[in-house]
Copies of this chain bind each other. A is one copy, B any other.
Amino acid sequence: MVTKQLKGTPEDADLTRADSLAREIFSDIANKWALLIIDALGERTLRFTGLRAEVEGISHKMLTQNLRMLERNGLVERTVHPTVPPRVEYALTEPGRDLRKTVHWMCDWTHQHFHHIEGARRRFDG
């Protein structure tokens, strides 16, 4: 679980470390842009500009920031072709593709409960 912090007895040292790392990764990944980027990449290899076109509404800055973060966490692989002008390609790693399934489950969930959500909103707003 991510929510609960274990108490720090020496024996738990590894567990707490794992736990806090899990929490850290969770905070990294559980954000709109990161998940949209992962979804957009899919099985393809995309260049920076192409990727930006795929992720509706993302800014240059947010894209670079999130790509660095995803690369750091080993979700995205970045390949630089030292040509002029430079050609940089992004693709999901195996764990990245794996996580992408989760994103899809979230999308499925949205569509599945579409009416429930619409109804709840109408009731709440009115």
* Contact surface of A with B, Cβ cutoff 8 Å: 1-5, 18, 21-23, 25-27, 29-32, 35-36, 39-40, 54-56, 71-74, 93, 95, 98-99, 101-102, 105-107, 109-114, 116-121, 124-125
Contacts and interface: CB of A to CB of B under 8 A. Distances in A.
A25 B35 CA distance: 13
A107 to B, nearest CB: 6
Nearest to A38: B3
Describe A's contact surface by its main secondary structure. helix
A32 B36 contact: no
A95 B114 CA distance: 10
A96 to B, nearest CB: 9
A123 to B, nearest CB: 8
